[in-house]
Structure 1
């Protein structure tokens, strides 16, 4: 998030090295992150401003924390100024080889971030980027709900608990997500238990996979509602970057249990955090819950083959990580893929002789700067009232009826913590999950 009017104070403390960071002139900070002990933390105020009064010091610090990488080159890159000098000599007990190793580790993490961002842009159709090396970042969406990136150290737990009144951390990461950035979740979980005032809850959802998101959202929202009482503190929902799975889970929660219309909730969330949640997955999951769905055999075919020999499809219900082969249709020259799919809209791309592309012969949709093909699976013939409900719920601007909201609340949160008014005194006892939720795939 850009803070164009923020400047480094001319003499800001470098807490890691016990030195002072000195800037010959004010330096702009372009990215706001907080919390990781591995990065320099600066108080931000106008260079010419006088120091705050003692009574105001705490409030200034709480509103103006910026974290940037600790290497000199990374500081210069983050501030856009190569004229930053370190005041004083480094302590003699700081090992040069250790500093070089730290610099190398930071460089490796930056490369990982770039690789992750490129993968995310391709698979989510977005231009967003994620910089793991800058530490935790987040935005408050509701008074009791924050969406952000993954915790990296036990100190991040302290930051969330003490600064943001977080009482539940809801982690959507899978083990491979954490292994990718060499995150160790056990010290974070242990610190939550040690503190005793903050819970750490895991509910893994596969990254960049809208179908896995669709299947797991109902159970995720039920678990979230069981662990979080809006009257008793804030919940922090995170995936890896906090740009896909986490905001989508927050959206479904706001739509199903907090009384928001889905598109309005989407605009509210996106107005506070730049992200790319899969709103179509939430629409489809809503239909799954209220209308009931059965798989339908769908066919995708390619007639114009030319000299190509290898045809695959990515997307659909398997996500962008897997590729499904097309086979030659008997009696024709077409290449086809036949697959059982739940009703809904599925984005996909062709991989032809190893090249990712889309077909102008199939319906297309714009996803950020990306163009995908899609297939609309309508499902079985429904009674008129269910068919109309399905059409309404799958259409942009569609909303739940009062009866549908009551049904979802009874299904997903059959206890008193998420009634129509979540601001008053409520029962904070942890209720068991509804029996039906354990039958979900």
Structure 2
């Protein structure tokens, strides 16, 4: 791609803009565009920047090279307007294969439109990622053009962006589709399973240490905890599928929910502990700090893996991160929840070490209810809202009452 003129300062539109185009095929009007410009470098979490506004997400791994199905991921970079009201942005991606052997039954051209409904002015660099499945393997040339979508009568269905936006092209190779579906600027592949797994290991180790300190049968507790963890994973998957039915995802590729994990794992922990002849209350109390420590570490995996993201923001306290579709400065709600879980984990750990005699499960109830109450406070900062109108309020009230009762019980003890 030819080098563009010297780029303007970040957030300042180019003084040279092409005239607005007419209506294009597929229902959209081209926005007045500036020449293809090299954007300013985004925050470090976004990774490497392309020379122009368009980036094709490549993946070099010999183990999966050429595996079907193949797909292509591409990202369009732009700056949000410096001020004003939130506004939508639509970008048309078009592509054609320029090299490759055969077609493998896949498409050799594509056209797709991706829309961000609300770009927050002042939020800085924005990365809009789109993916196209079932393509023929090979090298593709991709062009991204900002457009204003039109209705059936030809009238604009959305306002045009308040500042000119660059048009650009780039090229890159297809990759294994399951990898393409999770690749995006700011997303670290493998971060979620790695940090969640590390959190589980840390939880079990801390539970073991505290169990030894309390003279509990740590061997049996370890076996019960491993069983509870496996069942908890199933519960997390089932809970997510039941609460996200609108998402068209397969069971294996769908997400997981921490609520489902906690409900399933704690149920198995109590039942299996009772069957194994373990003092359930004492076992739960030494489990609480580890469980909360695991959540502290696991939420970092959500941040780097691109899930449970916060709302876009123009605040200086926001952190650039991605939900695998849109990278932008956001409220770091995953980090807030991690810090909250870490605080509760520290308090429960101190209580286990300092309280004597044991309090038979009250500490576990206090820690878990405090964490759950904190989650209800943080939920409005997330992009995805709660599915029920009053669920958050009811959960907050119930967990608040349990927390107060548990703390009173601890003080009395």
Task: Identify whether the pair has TM-score above 0.5, normalized to the shorter chain.
Answer: no
- Which structure is richer in relative contact order (CA contacts within 8 A, separation 6 or more)? 2
Please tell me the TM-score bracket, short chain as reference.
under 0.3
What is the TM-score of this pair, normalised by structure 1?
A: 0.27
Taking structure 2 as the reference length, the TM-score comes to: 0.28
